[in-house]
């Protein structure tokens, strides 16, 4: 049960990260090719990377804790 929930959450996280990345690269293509534009693009990439990692941790951490606790109780 916990494994299925983990797979579903990772799938949703993957879809979310693809949507964020697509939006990010679409906005990069629209930027002017200036030094400030490149700095803005790098800053945008870093912000989106933090959002993607945070959402992955939030989505998978509770399920991992549940799976570890269930496995621990089975071993008892």
Q: Which residue has the higher pLDDT, 76 or 54?
A: 54
pLDDT, residue 21, reads 64
Residue 33 backbone dihedrals phi, psi, to 5 degrees: -85, 70
Q: Are 15 and 43 in contact (CB under 8 A)?
A: no
pLDDT tens column, 42-55: 787 788 778 878 87
pLDDT tens column, 10-42: 777 677 766 666 666 666 666 556 677 777 777
Q: Are 34 and 14 in contact (CB under 8 A)?
A: no
H helices, E strands: number in the chain: 2, 0
Q: Are 38 and 55 in contact (CB under 8 A)?
A: no
């Amino acid at each position: 049960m916990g494994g299925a929930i983990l797979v579903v959450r990772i799938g949703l996280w993957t879809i979310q990260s693809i949507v964020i990345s697509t939006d990010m690269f679409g906005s990069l293509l629209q930027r002017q090719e200036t030094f400030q534009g490149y700095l803005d693009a790098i800053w945008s990439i870093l912000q989106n990377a933090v959002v993607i990692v945070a959402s992955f941790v939030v989505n998978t951490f509770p399920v991992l804790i549940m799976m570890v606790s269930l496995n621990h109780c089975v071993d008892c």
